Amino acid sequence: DTGVSQNPRHKITKRGQNVTFRCDPISEHNRLYWYRQTLGQGPEFLTYFQNEAQLEKSRLLSDRFSAERPKGSFSTLEIQRTEQGDSAMYLCASGAWSHNSPLHFGNGTRLTVT
């Protein structure tokens, strides 16, 4: 168990550029969540995967955001045409099949849009 891994740790991009983040969950975990967190706030739910199926997507998520989890393994979160308001920490969490099992978080990707 190597934990949840996220890459890159930091990303600085110019407004209007596209960015993609990667999350490698704990191998046997079939639940995977993406969250966005800004300074002083709690993690804000973005989307949920159960294996390769994206079962839930936050209404707050604009069309510029898309996530995939091919083959139910790693996941990617892409933001197109980034805006300064997208600057935040993007966290990935994974959990075992039971919804009563804990979530394990990666260290996050900090995005700065200039």
Partner 1 sequence: QQPVQSPQAVILREGEDAVINCSSSKALYSVHWYRQKHGEAPVFLMILLKGGEQKGHEKISASFNEKKQQSSLYLTASQLSYSGTYFCGTETGNQFYFGTGTSLTVIP
When the beta carbons of 50 and 80 are compared against partner 1, the nearer one is 50
When the beta carbons of 70 and 102 are compared against partner 1, the nearer one is 102
Q: How far is the CB of 17 from partner 1 (least distance, A)?
A: 25
Q: How far is the CB of 40 from partner 1 (least distance, A)?
A: 8
Rounded distance between C-alpha atoms, residue 47 and residue 69, angstroms:
11
Q: How far is CA 15 from CA 10, 11, 88, 108, in A?
A: 16, 12, 14, 21
Q: What is the DSSP letter of 87?
A: -
Structure-token pair, residue 27: 């191998």
Q: How far is the CB of 101 from partner 1 (least distance, A)?
A: 8
When the beta carbons of 30 and 80 are compared against partner 1, the nearer one is 30
Rounded distance between C-alpha atoms, residue 50 and residue 4, angstroms:
16
Q: How far is the CB of 5 from partner 1 (least distance, A)?
A: 11
Binding positions for partner 1, rule: CB under 8 A: 33, 35, 41-45, 48, 50, 55-56, 58, 91, 93, 99-108
When the beta carbons of 32 and 79 are compared against partner 1, the nearer one is 32
Rounded distance between C-alpha atoms, residue 80 and residue 18, angstroms:
4
